[in-house]
Structure 1
């Protein structure tokens, strides 16, 4: 999913490591030697810098929306964050639905918030570079999107700029975990972002969240099934708080669920 598990890495400082004592004269000699890296370390550094450069270039290309291909260049999935990008077909289908909803709005200011779904955000910008969309995302590599990016940690569901409060007529969310605890916190974020009078909500998550999505957010499942480029074992569903009619496969009746 754009599933992305939050993780905490604890890297000890170099000062925490101690080694055998070295004679003073040896230390002085070492101080005169230039700092060198082992061939292994140099190769690792080279791979890291290459990956970072490629990631930045891909995001910049997408943000500029200059590619002629119908697909969008995305930075690589980070296995440490359990990231899974949508297939082009899924991203295009959902982005077309969002653009359709934006066109139906009668207000002058039309905006959409994308919670933890960078693939959708990228395809929205590809389809319409001028769309007012914001990506709320934990992965700071997406800071390449500039002012359209807001750092988001679902563990602090309302730790967001006040300017975003009740500012969005459309909210699309793809919670990073398939757990009730995560969905509850993302629901808090949705309430923070959404317009209090009326808003459209699309939720992409596992089928296992069906009852929780209905209870917490009043959502109904659609016939459309999101797919990911990396094949996942969990079946993913799309839920909405509005009747999409014939789009997105329509609402599923209870006897079909």
Structure 2
């Protein structure tokens, strides 16, 4: 998730070290040997936000609403790509959203903690937008792509847009700051939705959703 650097809380070195130890313990306990399926590896919230990587998790209600939107628009047997939006991916994997068992999803993420999802995890650095494994991510192979660029900047969104265009068959759902509306239109031809996404943490920047298809989020 995105926000300006000025809004990132500062933690002490001891606190950060303790959090890292917790992360490492979580991953070691959730390896494939400890679970029969990747969908059981993490519940939403098991992986905490890392402000140093500009991560800000959605509220449970927002993650659920976005997951429902993805499932509806992907259709039965559809494929979903979550680009820098791991909290929504995790909501899909929980299996608590109706229809989630009828779609498949992958998460493209810089945070390697999500490698516990094995083949459904693709390491992603927006600075190399097309450095993608073709065997896992063939071009135009996803029915809908959800993307939440890590930074509110023209440079970031322009590069992420290259990734989105490579992945999607057509449908795009972008979640980013309201200040990015001009660039959302310029790079991906997206329209502003009335739906207001919320985060677990109170962010200074107003967030909005943008789509390029007739979405229920447009009139929410």
Scaled to the shorter chain, the TM-score interval is 0.7 to 0.9
Higher relative contact order (CA 8 A, sep 6+): 2
Per-residue CA shift, 1:89-117, capped at 9, x if unaligned?
110000001111122x6xxx520111000
How far is 1:216 from its partner?
Answer: 1.3
What displacement does 1:230 show?
1.1
Which of 104, 126, 131 is the matching residue for 2:103?
A: 131
In the aligned structure 2, how far is the partner of 1:76 from the partner of 1:58?
A: 15
The alignment's C-alpha RMSD in Å is 3.0
**TM-score when normalising by structure 2:** 0.81
Q: What is the deviation of 1:52?
A: 1.6
Change (3 A) 1:147 1:190: same
Q: What are the residue-to-residue correspondences of 1:84-99 with 2, within 5 Å?
A: 84-99=56-71
Residue 21 of structure 1 is matched in structure 2 by none
User: 1:200 and 1:158, CA in 2 relative to 1: closer, same or farther beyond 3 A?
Assistant: same
Rounded Cα–Cα distance in structure 2 between residues aligned with 1:3 and 1:139 = 17
Greater strand percent: which structure? 2
* Alignment length (residue pairs): 203
Mapped to 2, the partners of 1:135 and 1:185 lie a distance apart of 17
Q: Offset at 1:175?
A: 0.4
Per-residue displacement from partner, 1:36-67 (whole Å, max 9, x unpaired)? xxxxx9xx977743442135557988943489
Residue of structure 2 equivalent to 1:185: 159
Alignment of 1:82-231 (within 5 A): 82-103=54-75, 110-126=78-94, 127=97, 128-129=100-101, 131-163=103-135, 164=137, 165-195=139-169, 199-231=170-202
**Structure 2 residues not aligned, in runs of 5+:** 6-13
Q: Is the 8 A contact 1:167 1:193 kept in 2?
A: yes
What runs of 5+ residues in structure 1 fail to find an aligned partner?
Answer: 6-40, 252-257
Q: Which residue of 1 aligns with 2:10?
A: none
